Amino acid sequence: MLFLGIETSCDDTSLALVEDGTRVVGMRTASQIEMHNLTGGVVPELAAREHVNSILPVLRDLCETSGVSLDCIDAIAVTRGPGLVSSLLVGDLVASTLAWLLDIPIIPVHHIGGHIYANWLERLDADIRFPLVILTASGGHNELVYMPRHLTFEHIGRTRDDAAGEAFDKVARILGLGYPGGPLISKSALSGNAVSIDLPRAWLPGTYDFSFSGLKSEVLRVVEKELRQSDSLSGQFVADMAASFQMAVIDVLVAKLFQAAREYNASEVHIAGGVSANVLYRETVERRGQELGFTVKFPVKNVYSTDNGAMIAALGYFLYRDHPQEYTMWRNVLPDPNLKLFESQ
């Protein structure tokens, strides 16, 4: 089945054509990074306006470059939430209209569930072994999840304050590096020393929860102290802070991930979400997986780690494959900015 996946929950207008939940036929993304860089973060009204401007040109470009006409599409998957309501509305309206026009099923999906299913893209479904433990971390969420089987998400832990990606973004702003913080911090960290500045790790013993706000406050405190001693931050100080901060985040993410993987007897350990594009994080998870005897998986391309339409199509396909009766040929998708992934949330 050929699915069109539509993702507009935050600052990327991303559409993709995916066959049977795994084979990516094409993907086109209009990024708003340059615009949000000017304001140091996402301004919801501006994000929604950009989605309105971009979504139909992105759809046309996707169909033309993939050589696929609209009537070849079998179903549409669209992000229903969580996210910015005005941004979600753009994707949901376009998806609902297309589904009505083409008389095909529409599958509203959970954004974080989509990040989890990014690990199915360009892999064979049969190559993924349940049960698995997955840590998905990005700008808006930080969730440790147990999956005993397809489409079953059980909560293990989550952030109590900032998500890991959010912490990267805030620390990048403190260091004057720009937005989004993750790629800029990891680039700066390449010339820094990760053990040069002693930063705290919030272990929160006895839980699988995370906390990054204390780490961010400590970075701010050390930076302010440095600024009192010299007028500006030297390039070496910024690089050392970037490397030390990155290491502090990765230490906690990796330790909790594998602790959970052992307790839950996982067959595989996955990472996903924007932060899983981080090279050092991927390498550390892979190395730890080898040491402990776990198969590790992360999105096969960086563009499947950050927000993208293909992951939405992937989850939509598996939902439809397993529960076709739950999805009508057409429905008006109402965005839900607080959509829950777990019953217990």
Decide: is 162 part of the binding site for Zn ion (CB under 5 A): no
For 49-110, give the secondary structure using H, E and C.
HHHHHHHHHHHHHHHHHHCCCHHHCCEEEEEEECCCHHHHHHHHHHHHHHHHHHCCCEEEEE
Residue window 208-247: x/- pattern of binding to ligand KG4, with contact defined by CB under 6 A: ----------------------------------------
Residue window 175-194: x/- pattern of binding to ligand KG4, with contact defined by CB under 6 A: -----xxxx--x--------
Nearer to Zn ion, 102 or 116 (CB): 116
Decide: is 309 part of the binding site for ligand KG4 (CB under 6 A): no
Q: Which of residues 118-147 bind Zn ion (CB under 5 A)?
A: 138
Out of 278, 312, 315, 341, the residue judged to bind ligand KG4 by CB under 6 A? 278
Strand partners, 18: 3, 24
Decide: is 307 part of the binding site for Zn ion (CB under 5 A): yes
Q: Which of residues 74-93 bind ligand KG4 (CB under 6 A)?
A: none
User: CA 236, CA 34: separation in Å to the nearest integer?
Assistant: 26
Q: How far is the CB of 281 from ligand KG4 (least distance, A)?
A: 7
Q: How far is the CB of 140 from ligand KG4 (least distance, A)?
A: 4
Q: Which two tokens stand for residue 305?
A: 């780690």
User: To the nearest 5 percent, what fractions of the chain are helix, strand and coil?
Assistant: 50, 20, 35
Using DSSP, state whether 231 is helix, strand or coil: coil
Strand partners, 282: none
Cα dihedral 51, 55, 61, 65 sign: positive
Residue window 98-137: x/- pattern of binding to ligand KG4, with contact defined by CB under 6 A: ----------------------------------------
29-37, 44-52, 153-161, 162-170 -> range binding ligand KG4 (CB under 6 A): 162-170
End-to-end Cα separation, the chain, in angstroms: 32
- With CA atoms as reference, report the closest residue to 17 among 125, 121, 94, 127: 121
Residues in contact with ligand KG4 by CB under 6 A are 10, 138-140, 165-166, 168-169, 180-183, 186, 273-275, 277-278, 306-307
